[in-house]
Structure 1
Amino acid sequence: MQREQVLPILYEMALVIGGETSLNPLLLRTLQRLLYYTSYPAGFACLDLPKEAAPDEMLAVRLDAVVGDYELAQMSGQTLHFPAALLSGYGQRQEDASALLEMLPIVAGRYRAFLRLPIGDSGVIILLAPQMPESELPLTQMFQPVMANLANAIQLCRQNDEHNAAVAAQRGQLEQMLRRSELSFRALIELSPIGVAFSRDGITVDANAAYLHMFGYDDVAELQGRPLLEQVAPERHSQILEKIRRRATGRPVESVYETVGLRKDGSKFPFLVSAQRVELPEGPLTFTFFIDLTGQKQTEYELRTANEMLHSVLENVPLRVFWKDVASRYLGCNTLFAQDAGLKSPDELIGKDDYSMGWRAQAELYRADDARVMAADAPKLGFEEPQSTPDGQEIWLRTSKVPLHGSDGTVIGVLGIYDDITEQKQAEAQIHKLAFFDPLTGLPNRRLLHDRVQQALANSTRSGRYGALVLLDLDQFKTVNDTRGHTVGDKLLVEVARRLHYCVREGDSVARLGGDEFVVVLGDLSADEAEATEQAELVAEKVRSELGCPYSIEGSDYHTSASIGIVLFNGHEQPMEALFVHADMAMYQAKAGGRNTIRFYDPDMQAVLEARSELESALRGAVVRNELQLFYQVQVAEQGRHIGAEALLRWKHPVLGMVSPARFIPVAEESGLILSLGQWVLETACAQLACWQFQPEFSELTIAVNVSARQFRQADFVSQVHSILLTSGVTASRLKLELTESLVLDNVEDTIRKMGELKALGVRFSMDDFGTGYSSLTYLKRLPLDQIKIDQSFVRDITTDQNDAAIVQTIIAMAQNLGLDVIAEGVETQAQCEFLELRGCRAYQGYFFGRPVEVQDFEAALLQREK
């Protein structure tokens, strides 16, 4: 039982107790509900206990009611001996009571725990269990009001039982008397506890002792010969006179009614009258039964008072209360609930359902909840749910629903109680924010960061991919605080947090450890350690670069930099604490290395990055030092006619020797050097075309230049090519730009626009590595291409692999249908060349015709073939 259940429980207990009018059902129903709500399996009630008893005394007490124990129930109604220590005293809950409970008749040894609930001065209820049911509530205190209410109900039920028993018995006796002689009838009348009077034409003839006692007379002679009306309150005379007249004249008249009596001492009381006119030989005689209703009226008053008190509780409790029937139609509510529903009074709600309320959007959910509670005949307590108010706001409710039962125990509806916890929800959100987020920057704090790192470690374990912990510290931040004040320093920290968010991916985390220390948690990096290292380094470099840009604060520019330490992780190979220590060590290595730099904790990875950094640094000066050069690979047509060459970039390092493009091109792409390298390649290729156009042997040759995606996406790429063509003075049609499928299809409209502008200058285009991507024919026919280059991966096995042969044949046919030239790269054998020629391919490139060579070797080879 939870605390939220208390009010519904007390409410239902009050309904149960108030709904019984007879003692035995009252005790049994009360015991049943107590066992249900407290989880005790058995219990009994004993009334009329001795006033005083020693603790060690055995009391002879009647067992008035038993529930849950069959053997004990067989002795219900009998007088048994119970230990006084169990029955007497205040409310008590005891766990280890084996010695005491073994003294119980029959059930000895089955129970070890009990709960004693005194019923005022009326008796006691004992609940029994093999072991104490779990409950954090003070049950004895909680059920005190229930026991007080039960004590009053016991008295009322006893009175009612006695009254009903007396009425039933005496009615039976009276009917028997009337069938006997007048003497027997008289004797019975005298013995009746119900007042009986005989009258003729409204004048009292005789009365029994009960009547005399009821009206305060000692002898019937005081009443004989006097009007019966004298025993009726004056304000009721006219009403009774009319009845007497009608009865005296034999006209129909109400035989049973209530009125107000007048005693001899002048006091008034309510009573019930039942009169019957009997024709006798000596004349008509009216005999009348008088039943004192004082006790019943008092009971009604008490019940009405209890109902008013319940109504007062419902209206004053700071909760919304409602109850519905089995069809989820509202039967009633308190004023607070009516106000939430936008109604003026609770009466307006009766008969409505949730579909007609302001929260109709949640009506289906509420109806389903009601149905589950009623179907399971079990409460649903303390659940939270949103609700739309009539004015369109969303609030949060904490709701409890319990089934309502009829007198026969069947479910007749549902009772709901809720309170508005919107402010609590808002406070919880604020508390959560204060607990887990840095109040200055809004970033996760150290506490939430630990959760994010644990999550990243778990994700890494599942995926097998690396993650990285990036720790950074602002260089010379203390100087800003000391010279410009903490206000400027705080604004700079807020801007740093914003820039960090800009630098990372959506799934990554940024946190502030405190001061000027920040952490970035990178997840879902490559499963390859080297690649993951490069990926982490790229993010760190982006952070370092972004944080190094000027900060405009309060009209002034400020500069700072960051020292960054990185540690990789894969699963839970390292504990989280070690990751922070290693990242901190790497960060201090960055500080020691001159600040504004990046260091990895792993020495091997650091060496890899240093080597890459050295390669990048060397590549930056390669153009200036004339280490770059273009190699040319010949392109031929039928009969080996030379039609052009593809320009291929080579780097001849003075120490490393010839560096493979596969090694330095990715570095150039990632670092942005590809832009300057690409421009150099275009300028050099066009300069070579300018040289050739004055040599008849080479004047018709074209040069194909590969263009990277990053280079092509430059806003000024078209003007850059135009400028190079003008500067070199070459015929634009001799320059052929090779674009990859991925480049072309990434922003097709921009690609078509730029290609169109270059085509207008005379530049030609070839789609490189065709067939390796996923070109759309819809886009392909819109692109202003001149040529398609079949990728060497298809050419390599065209004479042995039917699939490659079919793909190549399809590409050739498609290009011909689109009016495009076709060139095949990677041709290395005579068989490949013949296969391509037979299928309509008229241009080739590959080792079969010539390897990439320096320009002088290229020219010499062409002149040699011309002889």
Structure 2
Amino acid sequence: MKTERLYPILYDLSVAIGAEVSEKPLMKRVMQRLMFHTGLPVSLWLGRVEDRWSIRTAVGLQVRHHQLGEEWPDELTSCWLTNGKTLQLLKVGDDWRSALVLRVDDDNMILLLSRRDPDTMLPWAEALSPVMGNLHRSLYLCRINDERTRRLTSEIAQRSRQLQTSEKRFFALVHQAPISIQIFRADGTCLMVNPAWEKLWHSCFSDLDDYNVLHDEQLKKSGRMEEVRRAFAGEQVHVDAHLYTVQADGTDGPAHSLWLRANLFPLRDDAGTVTHVVAIHEDITWWKEADDRLKKSERRYRRLIEVIPDGVGLCRDGRWLMVNPAMVRAFGADSADTLIGSPVQKHVHPEDRTKMPDPCYESDEINNESSALIRLIRMDGSEFLGETQSLLIEDVD
């Protein structure tokens, strides 16, 4: 081999060493370059593990009777091996006439095998010594980078597992929550709902393919769309009770109405941009119906009192809260407002005030009801005799 052939070898090896690759690809490229320029058909990368050499990478023709990881003798030097016994010791077979050992460092070496006798005119070990030194430094950097990559990969994997765990907890929280939860994307389309929502609305997530809360006509007609848009703008809002008519898509059943209250709040990314809006619905239909029944009952009670021909009044803490028209006429007042708020005992003659317990205060003297014949005083100061009957009405908690 001529000396000028060494220069392209050194150049190609420097290119291979300078490449930003991991350890094994780097060594494979170096061995391929050596095989190409020297014409030697087999290249092995041997590594030391606990004072034993083993094959780590093999390029070229398969080495007879050997596999990766198999141990090799320890008597390897950085020179041509020409002794037949040495080659037999390496167990490379009878076809191999010589071998060139290039030691990278104490733990790595490259072994080139040839079927011909060595060309001793070229000082291989001396010429390639600088290249082997650079290769040693490159391997060191590869191992550092590989370690950093493994550490970074491990951290990424750990964070990914933590994120997956967090996501699973979040979805479990939403899915198992006993209250209706609906999550919207920033454009108003629905991302997910939980089973409580499906039970409340008698619908399922697939029915919401074409639904956009920002285009909901019922919310616009009820005047609640402004609160919804504020939530998508980044505010936490409360939507007051409103009637909403529900008709599940794809069903022939009659529509039903719900009285709902809702709390909406935005979810933001690290930059503070609203990415989702969470809506929590509360069904207050039962409360609304109970409130309506109570108001109807109060209206009937008030109407009954107003049409009774006898004077009737309701007092608390010693003052009139309500009086009917007959009571207004009996005391000669211009209107009910004249009596409401005034002291009850003010309209009882001073000498008769002790004849009856004050029904407008909680007292042991009044267990249920009491009556008395007393003198009462009209608004103009005149007196008249009246029979009073007091009834204690207790609050029901």
Structure having the higher helix fraction is 1
Q: TM-score, normalised by structure 2?
A: 0.47
The higher-RCO structure (CA 8 Å, 6+ apart) is 2
| Higher-Rg member (1/2) | 1
